[in-house]
Amino acid sequence: MFELLKQPWHWAVAGTLIGLTVPVLLLIGNKKFGISSSLRHICAICIPAKIPFFKYDWKKEVWNLFFVFGVFIGGFIAANYLSNPEPVEIAEGTRAQLMEWGITDFDNLMPANLFSVSNLFTLKGLFFFVIGGFLVGFGTRYAGGCTSGHAIMGLSTLQWPSLIATCCFMIGGFFSANVILPFILKLAQ
């Protein structure tokens, strides 16, 4: 049984399961799926200030915090007990392009020469962790939600703003991967 869980699954299995969460959430109480709102709920619980953005009935959304906690626990279990010992499969063209940019660690999902503590206080780390983190947080707030909320929940309920946001997420991702990432990696070499 555990060997089956350790093997890579076809993307359609996860896609189907994620897609089924939308009707389930709608049926059990018209709940909205999304991860970024959980940070707002945590701030509303912990920050006693009278900030209008955090003044709402967060208790109605506490289910979302249990969902996020479940994602965290599931990730921990998968990484520590169900991980596949084989190296990550990467297409040869992608491997050649990454090696040209100086990324040579292909044994992990997160290459160590990109995502390590030693990179934290470098120019590359500044772009990846500080500026990138700020842009992701700002973009999520500006778009009124994250990719999971818009692309999964919003599109399935035919929300026009979610279509626009998802298109912008995709364009931004393509631009970042093909223009900004190579520029940063060449700059940091």
pLDDT tens digit string along 113-155?
A: 677 777 778 877 787 788 888 888 888 888 888 888 888 888 8
Please choose, from the candidates 36, 5, 14, 8, the residue with its C-alpha nearest in 3D space to the C-alpha of residue 109.
Answer: 8
Collapse the DSSP code of 26 into the 3-class scheme (helix H, G, I; strand E, B; otherwise coil) and give the result.
Answer: helix
Q: What are phi and psi of 117, to 5 degrees?
A: -65, -35
- In the DSSP assignment, the letter for residue 119 is G
Say if residue 96's pLDDT is above 70.
yes
Distance of CA 42 to the CA centre of its chain: 18
Sorted by sequence, the CB contacts under 8 Å of residue 144 that are 6+ apart come out as: 150, 161, 165
On whether the CB atoms of residues 9 and 3 are closer than 8 A, the answer is no
Count Cβ neighbours within 10 Å for each residue of 95-133 and write b for 16 or more, e otherwise: eeebeeeebeeeeeeebeebeeeebeeeebbebbeeeee
CA distance 44 to 57: 9
Determine how many CB atoms are found less than 10 A away from the CB of residue 184: 20
Global confidence as pTM: 0.73
Token pair listed for 165: 């946001």
The predicted structure's pLDDT at residue 2: 67
State the sign of the Cα–Cα–Cα–Cα dihedral 118, 119, 123, 126.
Answer: negative
pLDDT at residue 170, rounded to an integer: 92
Location of structure tokens 């994602």: 71
pLDDT band at 184 (very low <50, low <70, confident <90, very high): confident
Q: How far is CA 23 from the centre of its chain?
A: 22
More confident residue, 84 or 93: 93
Helix axes 160-175, 132-143, angle to 10 degrees: 160
Integer Cα distance of 100 and 80 in angstroms:
32
Alpha-carbon torsion 101, 115, 7, 20, what sign? negative
- Specify the higher pLDDT residue, 28 or 8: 28
